[in-house]
């Protein structure tokens, strides 16, 4: 297999608004991030992906960009950014920017022009349509509730917004849009950034004619109908030729609706498009009726099937990203593990083992390395995310769920679970800010925080540190192939990796009770334990596993 530094790396995602506030205004900022770079260095990550830091009116916390070449005032200045980049590079950490180019803010200069008149030179930067029978041009829904179309009084036409109405979709079929985006990318690359995480990049090519599609539970067709459109690969190859080619970068496409077949193009090892994609199949396993607002628990057999299919199918032809959490998902330990006092740390380490021993580039979301949990929101007023707030109103007002029922679902699945402040220590506001934080702090910061974990050798933090170090030391973790064991087990996730004459056996108990597995077909030798979350595992023909136990054996 072709070697590459981005295959050997671990990426850490920072959500700047909630990471560290340096000036007490309650909002995380770039100087705050700079003050925590030594923490990241100690964790051992190779790359940092920054969620958007560009100028934005913050309808969707920065995913609605007003100016791609300016820094959001709340976060600091361009000088702060240059300093951040330099301080990261000085520590050998690379920086990945979030590239949000499926849409802009409605306050971006291009859209301000575009909506002025039907003849404006920027009109075709966006997707405008005439009303049909006095209504929306089709039945597409916005990801954040309601129709994906907004009527604009000035020119009596609708514009498309797959996200909020303050996030109009760019028209990628217009070559001038592509020129403008590629210029902007080159501007950041020339500045020295090391790559891009491309926001909903699978949505950029819309199906010609914009046809109606099958409606979902809320009456609208899902925004994901626009995924993998007819020109998406052509546009990404053009982007690659005009921006990335000849530069040493890391690129990951956020690809909702991507299939394994499609991913083989997006993330092809021929390097013509992107290095890797975020796929969503495992994130959808606890959906119900096509909606994420469900309290369903993931079936372990389904999780294994999905992740194993991706492992097997991309082997040698493309490359996987590995993740259980990000700023759009609830906390992984609360969703896939067990956040009770007895099992929170054990299950957080188990999940990390299961993920980090696979083939692909692992992503750690801020606080995941501490086993941070979902948040005990008291009412809808505690939430800030427009996705959760809009969905609450839509579902309750349309009688889909009662207010109480919908609030419980939101507490389980809301993106705000991952967006409360990073828990640095047990001082006021978890050490995140001396002012009033923009969103509540999880009250469990008193026991779950970085300072406590840095002091304690058996903490989740130190376990992540070891997993990351192992990836740097053991080629088999990066390049070995993958073989699932016990596909039918509802309790154990076990797999093997092979490289040359080495083999890894990864065994994870996903339950809160003892279980066991027999391991007959293994070499006779006694293996070395690379890592384990109980610390004293015994090897034998029958492996006994304690609650949430995880062990990696090397032969
Ligand atoms: C992506 C982002 C999400 C954002 C959306 C619209 O899914 O990760 O946070 O709301 O795109 O930009
Ligand atoms: Ca601040």
Is 199's C-beta closer than 6 angstroms to any atom of ligand 1? yes
User: Distance, CA 63 to ligand 1 centroid (Å)?
Assistant: 6
**pTM of this structure:** 0.98
Is 262's C-beta closer than 6 angstroms to any atom of ligand 1? no
pLDDT tens string 330-373: 999 999 999 999 999 999 999 999 999 999 999 999 999 999 99
**Residues 98, 51: contact at Cβ < 8 Å?**
yes
Indicate the range of 73-87, 215-229, 422-436, 478-492 predicted with least confidence.
215-229
Long-range contacts, stretch 65-68, CB < 8 angstroms, 24+ apart: 65/100, 65/104, 65/105, 65/108, 66/104, 66/105, 66/107, 66/108, 67/108, 67/109, 68/184
pLDDT tens string 133-146: 999 999 999 999 99
pLDDT tens string 199-245: 999 999 999 999 999 998 889 999 888 999 999 999 999 999 999 99
Catalytic choice (21, 29, 64, 254) = 254
Q: Is 302 a catalytic residue?
A: no
- For residue 27, pLDDT over 90 is answered with yes
What is the atom index within ligand 1 of the atom nearest the CA of 102?
Answer: 12
What the block records as the tokens of 390 is 């809009």
pLDDT tens string 385-432: 999 999 999 999 999 999 999 999 999 999 999 999 999 999 999 999
Q: Is 254 a catalytic residue?
A: yes
Q: Does an H or E element contain 178, and which?
A: helix 175-191
Catalytic choice (46, 169, 199, 549) = 199
Spatial separation of the C-alpha atoms in residues 318 and 11, rounded to whole Å = 18
- For residue 520, pLDDT over 80 is answered with no
Q: Which ligand is nearest to the CA of 105?
A: 1
b/e per residue 198-210 (b: at least 16 CB within 10 A): bbbbbbbbbeeeb
DSSP result, 56-87: ---TTTTSS-SEEEEE-GGG--HHHHHHHHHH
**Residues 450, 29: contact at Cβ < 8 Å?**
no
Nearest one of 140, 100, 108 to 126, comparing CA atoms: 108
**Residues 542, 517: contact at Cβ < 8 Å?**
yes
Is 345's C-beta closer than 6 angstroms to any atom of ligand 1? no
Is 59's C-beta closer than 6 angstroms to any atom of ligand 1? no
Alpha helices in 383-508 (DSSP H): 386-397, 403-413, 450-455, 460-473, 475-479
Nearest CA to ligand 1 atom 4: 63
User: Distance, CA 199 to ligand 1 centroid (Å)?
Assistant: 6
Nearest CA to ligand 1 atom 7: 200
User: Distance, CA 64 to ligand 1 centroid (Å)?
Assistant: 9
Burial group, residue 536, by CB count within 10 angstroms (0-12, 13-18, 19+): exposed
Is 15's C-beta closer than 6 angstroms to any atom of ligand 1? no
Q: Token pair 């000085």 is at which residue? A: 90
Q: Where are the beta strands (DSSP E) in 124-176?
A: 128-129, 149-152, 157-160
Spatial separation of the C-alpha atoms in residues 383 and 128, rounded to whole Å = 33
What is the pLDDT confidence band of residue 49, given thresholds at 50, 70 and 90?
very high
b/e per residue 22-61 (b: at least 16 CB within 10 A): beeebbbbbbbbbebbebbeebbbbbbbbbbbbbbebbbb
Long-range contacts, stretch 531-540, CB < 8 angstroms, 24+ apart: 531/353, 531/463, 531/466, 531/467, 531/470, 533/346, 533/349, 533/350, 533/353, 533/463, 534/346, 535/458
């Amino acid at each position: 297999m072709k070697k590459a530094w981005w295959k050997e790396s671990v990426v850490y995602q920072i959500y700047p608004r909630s990471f560290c506030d340096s000036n007490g205004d309650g909002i995380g900022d770039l100087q705050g991030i700079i003050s925590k770079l030594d923490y990241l260095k100690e964790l051992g990550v190779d790359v940092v992906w920054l969620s958007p830091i560009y100028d934005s009116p913050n309808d969707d916390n920065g995913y609605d960009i007003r100016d791609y070449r300016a820094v959001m005032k709340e976060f600091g200045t361009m000088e702060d950014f240059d300093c951040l980049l330099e301080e990261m590079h000085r520590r050998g950490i690379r920086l990945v920017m979030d590239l949000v180019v499926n849409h802009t803010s409605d306050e971006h200069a291009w859209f301000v022009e575009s909506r002025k008149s039907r003849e404006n030179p920027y009109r075709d930067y966006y997707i405008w349509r005439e009303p049909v029978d006095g209504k929306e041009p089709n039945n597409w829904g916005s990801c954040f509730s309601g129709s994906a179309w907004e009527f604009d009084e000035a020119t009596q036409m609708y514009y498309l917004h797959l996200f909020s109405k303050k996030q109009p979709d760019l028209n990628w079929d217009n070559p001038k849009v592509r020129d403008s985006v590629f210029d902007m990318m080159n501007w950041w690359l020339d500045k020295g950034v090391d790559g891009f995480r491309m926001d909903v990049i699978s949505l950029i090519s819309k199906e010609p004619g914009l046809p109606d599609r099958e409606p979902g539970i809320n009456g609208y067709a899902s925004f994901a109908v626009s995924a993998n459109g007819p020109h998406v690969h052509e546009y990404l190859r053009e982007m690659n030729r005009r921006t990335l080619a000849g530069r040493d970068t890391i690129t990951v496409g956020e690809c909702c609706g991507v299939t394994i077949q499609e991913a083989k193009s997006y993330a092809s090892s021929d390097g013509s498009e992107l290095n890797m994609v975020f796929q969503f199949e495992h994130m959808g396993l606890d959906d119900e009726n096509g909606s994420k607002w469900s309290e369903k628990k993931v079936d372990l057999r389904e999780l294994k099937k999905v992740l194993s299919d991706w492992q097997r199918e991309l082997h040698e032809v493309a490359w996987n990203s590995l993740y259980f959490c990000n700023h759009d998902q609830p906390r992984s330990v609360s969703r896939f593990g067990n956040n009770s006092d007895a099992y929170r740390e054990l299950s957080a380490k188990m999940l990390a083992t299961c993920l980090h021993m696979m083939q692909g580039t692992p992503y750690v979301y801020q606080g995941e390395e501490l086993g941070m949990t979902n948040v005990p929101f008291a009412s809808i007023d505690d939430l800030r995310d427009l996705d959760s707030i809009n969905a609450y109103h839509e579902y309750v007002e349309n009688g889909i769920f009662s207010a109480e029922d919908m609030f419980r679902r939101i507490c389980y699945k809301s993106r705000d679970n991952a967006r409360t402040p990073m828990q640095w220590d047990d001082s006021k506001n978890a050490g995140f800010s001396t002012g009033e934080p923009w969103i509540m702090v999880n009250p469990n910061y008193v026991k779950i925080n970085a300072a406590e974990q840095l002091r304690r050798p058996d903490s989740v933090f130190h376990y992540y540190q070891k997993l990351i170090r192992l990836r740097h030391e053991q080629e088999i973790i990066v390049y070995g192939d993958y073989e699932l064991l016990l596909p039918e087990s509802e309790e154990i996730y076990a797999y093997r990796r092979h490289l040359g004459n080495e083999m890894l056996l990864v065994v994870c108990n996903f339950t809160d009770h003892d279980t066991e597995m027999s391991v007959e077909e293994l070499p006779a030798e006694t293996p070395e334990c690379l890592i384990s979350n109980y610390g004293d595992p015994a090897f034998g023909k029958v492996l006994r596993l304690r609650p949430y136990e995880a062990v990696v054996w090397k032969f």
